[in-house]
Amino acid sequence: MANEITGNTNGLKRSILERLENLFEIKSDPAVLCDQHIIDEICDITGHVNREISVFISPRGKTEEISVGDFKTVTLRRLDIDRQTRCIHTHPGPDSTLSAIDLDTLKNTDMAVMAAVGTYEGKPNGISCAYVNIEGQPVISGPYYNVFETDDMIQEMLRFGSNKEIEEDREREIVIAAGVSRPGQSALLDELAELIDSAGGICVHKEEQQRDSFDPASYMGRGKIQELNHICREYDADTIVFDDSLSPAQIRNIEQMLNVKVLDRSSLILDIFAQRAHSREGKLQVELAQLTYMLPRLTGRGTELSRLGGGIGTRGPGESKLETDRRHILRKINILKRELKQNDARREVLTNNRKKQNMFTAALAGYTNAGKSTLINKLTDSSVFAEDMLFATLDPSARRFELPSGEAIILTDTVGFVSKLPHELVEAFKSTLDVVAQADLIIHVMDGSSPKMDAEKNIVDEILKELGAGGIPVIEVVNKIDLMPELYTGVKNFNRRFYISALTGQGITELVSKIEEEAEGNRYIKEFNVGYEMGRLISYIHSNTEVLEKEYLGDTIRFKLKLTEKNIQNISKELNLQ
């Protein structure tokens, strides 16, 4: 059980145990031995119960274990104390001299520092410390009379001790990735690690379990969750992310067994989107998705939410919104939907303007980090943000692109897809993603350097079908061939598939020629005679086609038009030509 006090706790009052448990919430400054409040508390408790209190602190200042009694009663596994932890323990008496047992324990483990605190009338009476030098001998220092005096000793331990200095990276969370592989469906832990990196964390370990099905109570088996508890302690992890969406009950059960922040794949992706959204509409969509995701997970999370101190999984709506009641969140969701509908109306105006100009539209779609933004920058000489990370760009963009023939078309860059994309996100971004379904051509960009390119292609194809874009013509573009020259040297374009490097420009000319062919092939030149009285049809022609010539005859208007097959069908139907 997380935050459990080990050792000889028999007969201790509940108030004493609660005081000890509160020490788990204290984060110590790694530059000194530990937080002064920890010293004061364990001395006061020792003065009341006349027992030794041992506190184990990680190199990053996290309180990992607390035990009551001497080392003979400490039940820590060797795994837990062989990680450069610092042990601070009290002596039920004024003498802080380190005992032979203290020094022997220090030498026989990889602990960084052993510290003993003498206790007199419940107050600290000196702190003696020791660390092992590179010759394997204890270096004893002290006594110190407050923790701030230990800073020089800590620096000496880091420089001259046998243990390697722990790299401090306080800006990034230490994260464990965990997932279940079932028959026919493997956990995507490598991709999950990339998502963690995109969110600003560091994935230090991946843990996979083979199961026939998910455990309905804890996703993984309870034994594996307990093992993850030790792994989190081993790596001093702040957070654990699971590869699938977890139910509210699974999250609660896992949180009860682990003393770290618990996220699932959906909340991680939502967090990345919260970081990437820059436009007003993008922020609204992300907030709607996060609130929709959180709504069924509010029950029983009041106390847990108050402990969220920022970092991965806490961006977006914010703690204050998530702690409000269900009614307020539902009201907020309705407000967001209304605002997004207003944005939809503005986007429809822009779409209609393009239709009036009869402009050909090509939408770039593909798996995240396939290079869509880099490609649109190369084609249009623009500056859409592009970076080698998952979901580098979120807000869709449209760029005018002039083909070699002189005809201008619209290229739209869409958000990248990913496996197990949260349903809430797809729903929130439905209107934005509709740009794909309204396009005349889809340019499906794939990462040619990815070993899972075919699997990623299938995922994108399925999402395009869900968006109603399954019947739109597609050009497949295998990007990043410059990263795999041994695989793509001499390869030929075939079957509507083109091999390019958006970074170097290789293959771009052939791709542009194909786009131009599709744009020209999508347009036909036709002549129609329309009666003056058919005002609605005349308005449609001017709004949806390109008028090449117009001649006023006796009782009709002769139009020479450049238009699509759908335009031809609509006009022919009005003129009863079908």
- Nearest of 419, 467, 448, 443 to residue 515 by alpha carbon: 443
Is 550:557 a contact under the CB 8 Å cutoff?
Answer: yes
**Per-residue pLDDT tens digits of the chain, which is 578 residues long:** 456 788 888 888 999 998 999 998 888 888 889 999 999 999 999 999 999 999 999 888 888 889 887 544 444 433 344 457 889 999 988 999 988 888 888 877 778 899 999 999 999 999 999 998 877 788 999 899 989 899 888 888 887 776 544 444 445 788 999 999 998 888 888 888 888 888 888 898 999 999 999 999 999 998 999 899 888 888 888 889 999 888 888 988 888 888 788 898 888 888 887 776 766 777 777 788 888 887 777 654 443 443 334 566 655 555 444 455 677 778 888 888 888 777 766 666 656 665 555 678 888 888 888 888 889 888 887 655 445 445 545 556 778 888 887 778 888 887 777 777 766 666 666 656 777 877 889 999 999 998 889 988 988 888 888 878 888 889 999 999 999 888 888 888 887 899 999 989 999 999 999 998 888 777 788 999 999 999 999 988 887 788 899 999 988 999 999 887 778 888 998 898 86
CB-based contacts of 536: which residues, under 8 Å, 6+ apart? 574
CA distance 167 to 158: 11
Q: Spell out a b/e string for 433-471, using b for 16 or more CB atoms within 10 Å of the CB, else e.
A: bbbbbebbbbbbbbbbbbeebeebbebbbebbeebebee
CB-based contacts of 56: which residues, under 8 Å, 6+ apart? 63, 64, 65, 66, 67, 76, 80, 81, 85, 86, 87
pLDDT tens readout for residues 92-125? 889 999 888 888 888 777 788 999 999 999 999 9
pTM value is: 0.55
DSSP symbols for 474-502: EEEEEE-GGG-HHHHTT---BTTEEE--T
In 269-407, beta strands by DSSP E:
361-366, 397-402
Is 274:198 a contact under the CB 8 Å cutoff?
Answer: no
